[in-house]
Structure 1
Amino acid sequence: MKIYDLLIVGGGPVGLYAAFYAGMRGLSVGLIEAFDQVGGQPEHLYPEKKIYDVAGLPEISGATLIENLLKQLEFVKADIFSGQRVLNIQKQDDLFSVSTDRNKKYKQADENDALVSTDKLFQSKAILLTTGAGLIAPRKLGIEDENKYYESGKISYFIKNLADFKDKKVAVLGGGDSALDWALMLLNVAKEVHLIHRRPKFRAHEKTVTLLEQSQVKLHIPYTLSALTENEIELNKVKSDEKKVLSVDKILVNYGFLTNQVDLIEQLEVSRSNRILVNREMQTNLAGVFAAGDGADYEGKVPLISVGFGEAVIAINAMSKQIELDHALKKGHSSSLFG
């Protein structure tokens, strides 16, 4: 069985960049991802939504960011095991044993690009948890026939392809940054856009609210959706008997997402928000186990992708000093390695 220097749990943006940086430092790396495809929320939830907080990139879509991270990862050797959910992590002597729920063949990122048989057990000298918010599920409307309308395509919880909304009458439900961002983006393709929010004020950034109020988005506040048919939705004004009916083709529900943050190791200390507590070197309370990205927590934490990238670098540099990695590069920059 191959023993990795580092096993990364979670294949979102931070996990992918961590795999690249660890490989650049000379570590042997394995990455385990629960979904069949790596990429995390930018790939699965908002591939066409623009991201603005990554240094050096004025704007980039979620799908393009993941595409670029995968291209970057091609510079190093890293084994990616997708479609496997981690069940348990245990430490035996100086090695961690990681068990998953699958036993399949996966593509190994080596010079032979071969298919290799893997089993349910992996071993490594260190662990980096980049699990983000955990496994995610959308908050639903909770109305009758919701699943039927979801299966027919009338209801969506996130957008993978803006073209699906071309020339449609769209109702966006929600009052946070994501709902407002989507409403403004949909103006470019949809026939008309309605934004329905159950509170009198929005919870989004002030600049976004100003852009919304100056746009052609039709606002309905404070209203909730009470019923729908194939062609219409019924809205009920909060704390009132007043109702209105809108003709819409598609509904985008943006009430946020529920998370299932799996306790990978029972002894891990977590914060009040159920995120993994780390110190300034991204070290958890367990030696050899580190965390980075949205799943990690500490005083002053800022949940941004760009911050997660930096946390991954800090964690990998710290672990390189703590465990026996004779082949790891003590110094060196990407400009000298790949120039």
Structure 2
Amino acid sequence: MNDKTYDIAIIGGGPAGMFAAYYASLRKLNVALIESLPNLGGQPQTLYAQKEIYDVAGLPKVSGTELVDQLTNQLSLLSVDEYLGTSVTDIERTDDVWKISTNKVEIITKAIIIAIGNGAFKPRKLTFDYDPAIEDNNLSYFVNDLNDFKNKDVAVAGGGDSAVDWAIHLNEIANNTSIIHRRNKYRAMESSVDTLNASSVEQLNPYIIKDVTFNNLDDSKIDVLLKKIKSDDEKTITIYKLLVNYGFISDSKILRDWNLELEGPFIKVTQQMETNLPNVFAIGDIATYPGKLQLIATAFAEGPMAVTRALRNLYPDKDYFEHSTSMFK
């Protein structure tokens, strides 16, 4: 058990949690930042590291990796205890503090901010068995490095915003790009579909993937067997890279176990980001309230709101109207 008692422990090391940790430390609070993955960054780093984001104030566009790098640099200016590769299993209220149980250590804190994005997410994978070695080089569920797709024949599976956007983006650097979707109509922004239709991306619709195997003549490539919907027609394409974008699965069971009031998979909060539990707050994609907008910009605002409310609850006599310019003096 860690003997230190924190003012605030933040569960979730994505952009919302990172900025909340920075702001809490800026307000001279003792902060723990807990992340289940081995690195900070959350979904922007894991799901769309190389994809460009356009709704962060002051940045016309920024990739997931670039955004996380900037947040990491910002966080390094102040003192925050980071617990990486640390999964929270339970929270328990004891003597006006919270005990956070994890797979590594127990953490004692006066307040908690939950910033776990869409929860414990994992990609929806192909529904059939295939050689696991294919995932080493040829099959991906995330794009971590665009160079893996450069000058290669690639295919994207899926019909949502992410799949359509990646097909358009990868087509700029790949040799040939295809998109595989089970329907003729995409579930994506109209403007993105218009861009896709105007591009050279080959649209393989309506098809589903039936099998993926190494190519017999060149094991650096894979054969993707496609079956046409409501038909016996099949075709095989040979490519270097297959990116599967079927969406993600999240599990809110652990939140129910913590006795948090939920609305669907989301945590209900007040306008000051308070949950139904004392000094437990929620921010970012996991939090919901009337008029909520699921934007990174919104999450960046919710962090300071939660921190300020926690500060007032914990230290009502403390001067909390400092400006950031004076805090660094």
**TM-score category, normalised to shorter length:** over 0.9
Could you tell me which of 304, 308, 314 is aligned with 1:313?
304
Q: CA deviation at 1:243?
A: 2.3
Contact 1:134–1:262 (8 Å) recurs in 2:
no
Q: CA deviation at 1:22?
A: 0.8
C-alpha distance in 2 between matches for 1:139 and 1:311: 29
Deviates further, 258-267 or 176-185: 258-267
Instruction: Name the counterpart of 1:8.
Output: 10
Could you tell me which of 167, 175, 191 is aligned with 1:191?
175
Instruction: Name the counterpart of 2:281.
Output: 290
Deviations 1:31-90 (A, max 9, x none): 111111111011122211111111111100101111100111122211111111111111
Could you tell me which of 119, 140, 145 is aligned with 1:134?
119
Contact 1:9–1:128 (8 Å) recurs in 2:
yes
Residues 47-196 of structure 1 correspond to what in structure 2 (within 5 A)?
A: 47-102=49-104, 120-145=105-130, 147-151=132-136, 153-196=137-180
C-alpha distance in 2 between matches for 1:182 and 1:302: 24
Q: What letter matches 1:97 in structure 2? A: K
Q: What letter matches 2:328 in structure 1? A: F
Q: CA deviation at 1:337?
A: 2.8
Contact 2:114–2:282 (8 Å) recurs in 1:
yes
Q: CA deviation at 1:336?
A: 3.2
1:32 aligns with 2:34: yes
For the residue of structure 2 that corresponds to 1:55, the secondary structure is coil
For the residue of structure 2 that corresponds to 1:321, the secondary structure is helix
Q: CA deviation at 1:266?
A: 2.6
Q: CA deviation at 1:242?
A: 2.4
TM-score normalized by the length of structure 2: 0.92
Residues 245-264 of structure 1 correspond to what in structure 2 (within 5 A)?
A: 245-264=236-255
C-alpha distance in 1 between matches for 2:258 and 2:238: 51
1:221 aligns with 2:205: yes
Deviations 1:158-214 (A, max 9, x none): 110111112211010001111111111111221100001111211111111111111
Unmatched 5+ stretches in structure 1: 103-119
1:234 aligns with 2:225: yes
Contact 1:135–1:259 (8 Å) recurs in 2:
yes
Instruction: Name the counterpart of 1:204.
Output: 188
Aligned length: 319
Contact 1:232–1:248 (8 Å) recurs in 2:
yes
TM-score normalized by the length of structure 1: 0.90
Go from structure 1 to structure 2 and tell me whether the alpha carbon gap of 1:269 and 1:146 turns closer, same or farther (over 3 Å shift): farther
C-alpha distance in 2 between matches for 1:180 and 1:60: 19
Q: CA deviation at 1:268?
A: 0.8
Q: CA deviation at 1:325?
A: 6.3
Q: What letter matches 1:72 in structure 2? A: Q
Q: What letter matches 2:82 in structure 1? A: I
